[in-house]
Chain A
Amino acid sequence: EADIYQTPRYLVIGTGKKITLECSQTMGHDKMYWYQQDPGMELHLIHYSYGVNSTEKGDLSSESTVSRIRTEHFPLTLESARPSHTSQYLCASSELHRGSSREQYFGPGTRLTVT
């Protein structure tokens, strides 16, 4: 069982609010990822990190930002939420080696609704 956690699981928030989605893992993995997923659709990488103080933008443009101050923690922040941000956000982690990226451990996701 993967030890990666996301909070909150569900969030309904009004337009313009600042939100932070939390993600923590206890596996000591160096690489962490954030994906955006609409129901039944493919996952789109929005941010990733190779380790502490490393953050990179993914393939899908996102208005969110991330930070990696500790190995186990990779929060995602939206400064001003909009209805277009409504989606499911999935956090994942893997070991550092490139080949290890194929086996990523996912959290349960945060379903965000912006009204």
Chain B
Amino acid sequence: GESVGLHLPTLSVQEGDNSIINCAYSNSASDYFIWYKQESGKGPQFIIDIRSNMDKRQGQRVTVLLNKTVKHLSLQIAATQPGDSAVYFCAELSAGGTSYGKLTFGQGTILTVHP
């Protein structure tokens, strides 16, 4: 069945370092791959997405890379700040079938940024 999962459940970095959070997916039939950030006590918040026909997309301090050959998605955060500490989820938007238009979330990665 469809699944989206993360390689590393936790990641600790020093403030100012770059962070890389990885995600593996198994369902190739999806239009978009998305990253969400969930801070403690809050609901998830959209960060950035990438369409399946792209391999890289940049935002403000964040870059998402998509490697469809190995079904791998990553989120790079430049100059990580303490405010980036959160749980990060990857998700995919299904393109068809019974899951049409629905998000499938993977297991979160806890990012901790040390001052």
Q: Which residues of A contact B (CB under 8 A)?
A: 2, 4, 35, 40-45, 48, 58-59, 90-92, 98-99, 101-109
Contacts and interface: CB of A to CB of B under 8 A. Distances in A.
Q: Which 7 A-B pairs have the closest CB atoms?
A: A106-B43, A98-B101, A42-B105, A43-B105, A102-B93, A102-B32, A103-B46
Contacts of A109: 42-43
A102 B107 contact: no
Given A108-B43, A109-B43, A43 B89 contact: yes
Nearest to A31: B101
Nearest to A97: B101
B99 interface: yes
Nearest to B98: A59
Given A99-B93, A108-B43, A41 B108 contact: yes
Contacts of A2: 45
A101 B45 contact: no
Contact of B101 (A35, A41, A101, A108): A101
Given A48-B102, A102-B93, A40 B31 contact: no
A43 to B, nearest CB: 4
Contacts of A43: 44, 89, 103, 105
Interface string B74-86: 0000000000000
Contact of A42 (B41, B99, B106): B106
20 contacts: A2-B45, A35-B105, A40-B108, A42-B4, A42-B107, A48-B102, A58-B102, A59-B99, A90-B44, A91-B43, A98-B93, A98-B100, A99-B93, A101-B93, A102-B32, A102-B91, A102-B103, A103-B34, A103-B46, A107-B43
Given A40-B108, A42-B107, 19 more contacts: A40-B9, A40-B87, A41-B108, A58-B102, A91-B43, A98-B93, A98-B100, A98-B101, A99-B31, A99-B93, A101-B93, A101-B103, A102-B32, A103-B34, A104-B46, A106-B43, A106-B44, A108-B41, A109-B42
